[in-house]
Amino acid sequence: MNIDYKKLAQKYQTPYYVYDFDHITNQYNELKEAFKARKSILAYAVKANSNLSVIKHLASLGAGADCVSIGEVKRALKVGITPYKIIFSGVGKTDDEIRQALELGILMINVESAAELNRVDSIAQELDKVARISIRVNPNIDPKTHPYISTGLHENKFGVDIDTAKRMYIQCKNSNHLEPVGIHCHIGSQLTQLEPILEAVEIVATLVKNLQAIKIELSFFDVGGGLGIVYDNETLIDTKEYAQGILKTLFGLDVTIICEPGRFLVGNSGVFVTKVLYEKTNGNKRFIIVDGAMNDLIRPSLYNAYHKIEVLNDETEKSLCHLVGPVCESGDFFGKNIELPLTQHNDLVAIYSAGAYGFTMASNYNTRGKVAEIALEGGEDRLIRRRESFEDIIALEEEFIK
Ligand SMILES: *Cc1c(COP(=O)(O)O)cnc(C)c1O
């Protein structure tokens, strides 16, 4: 990626996110190609980066969408993803969200509890519709990732155990308003080991075979997302081995494979760019204070996540420092005890691998406007979300001042 960060800073000010759409294209094509031996849908996990232009770009490549709120479903539909490639997941869907999902006619609702299945059943009955159902199975597999982003253990809130899932499929079969069409598992995020994924797929495949024996035939096998990316020096899962491992595990099952990558598609397309305001030392601690903060990119504060950071100046001598933002929290940092060169006011700082779970987790904390988002495609830059103004931030409160 060869990006003129200075030029973008002059044109759009700082801080900003920039996303290389050509990188997203390459990532999509690599994974799609890996599954080419079978029918597959890559359903982009919209929560990773839900900018409409990002989703639209993926839609143009043929992607479907994995959504965790009705808002995300509507984003996907808005940019032209066909309802038949949209999945609605999540442990806490409201009645209203279920109703809308049924009315919008999406591919399937991914149900995460027996209680939720009952809600979907009665709402579908009220609307006189048949709800296409997939059930999220929690295979109790340790994905060996950060505990905050592990989702496939019984101690996590996601999905249902195998026995509950089986009972739920039987309930679907016996209901006039539920049609079992798919099965799903997603064991965690930033996965760097293939074995736990294949173990999970194997457990779920066994259930699919047991269901076939009682005449419940599923058409979609959703292996979830979670493929990791390089933030630092991780060894990644090879996409060919990943796809081939899954295809082999599903041998003999006539199912369309769904895969739900989020981070893998967009994570390394994105860079968060901020500029230096001040340097100071407290005692012997050196701080660089920049104009971006935890409200723009919360991953370091939230998960102690590592992002590679570079100061874009010509200084060569480096020393230990903390790179922090202006927000009034000690947890507001991008890097702690990292080696960075001496900086001057207005030097730019690039924080890499920020395309996934960056902007989508941003907030207005400290009445800071959300930053601009920029797309790069074929060497051309364009704005895909304008910087929020003070007026934008107060827009929904102003009329209520007494
Ligand atoms: C978050 C999520 C994904 C995407 O996870 P990544 O690690 O970004 O690939 C896929 N499926 C479900 C159900 C999710 O909740």
The rounded Å distance from CA 63 to ligand 1 centre is: 15
1: pLDDT confidence band, cut at 50, 70 and 90?
low
Does ligand 1 come within 6 angstroms of the Cβ of 266?
A: no
- Whether 264 lines ligand 1, by a CB cut-off of 6 Å, is yes
CA of 259 to the centre of ligand 1 (A): 9
Containing H/E element for 67? strand 64-67
Domain 5-16+268-396 coded CATH 3.40.50.300: no
CA of 145 to the centre of ligand 1 (A): 13
Superfamily of domain 35-261: Alanine racemase (3.20.20.10)
Query: Which residue out of 41, 144, 260 has the highest number of ligand 1 atoms within 8 Å of its CB and is therefore the one to mutate?
Result: 260
Give the Å distance between the CA of 45 and the centre of ligand 1: 6
**321-365 residue pLDDT tens:** 999 999 999 999 999 999 999 999 999 999 999 999 999 999 999
- Residues of CATH 2.40.37.10 domain(s) within the chain? 5-16+268-396
Distance (Å, whole) CA 57 – CA 124: 33
Instruction: Give ranges for CATH 3.20.20.10 in the chain.
Output: 35-261
Alpha carbon distance 254, 203 (integer Å): 17
224 lines ligand 1 (CB under 6 A): yes
Given a cut of 90, is residue 158 above it in pLDDT? no
Please indicate whether residue 27, judged by its CB atom, sits closer than 6 Å to ligand 1. Answer: no
Cβ(263) – ligand 1 distance below 6 Å: yes
CA distances to 286, 290, 344, 400 from 282, in Å: 7, 16, 18, 43
pLDDT at 150 over 80: no
**Of residues 145 and 236, more confidently modeled:** 236
Q: How many CB atoms lie within 10 A of CB 35?
A: 22
Asked if the model's pLDDT at residue 32 lies above 80, the reply is yes
**Confidence check: pLDDT of 148 > 90:** no
Residue 55 in 3-state DSSP? Answer: helix
For all residues of the chain together, what is the average pLDDT?
96
Contact 210, 166 (CB under 8 A): yes
- Ramachandran angles phi, psi of 17, nearest 5°: -105, 135
Instruction: Please check the confidence at residue 153 and state whether its pLDDT lies above 80.
Output: no
Residues designated catalytic: 328
Question: What is the pLDDT averaged over residues 264-288?
Answer: 97
Nearest ligand 1 atom to the CA of 136 is 13
**Contact (Cβ atoms closer than 8 angstroms) between residue 45 and residue 261:** yes
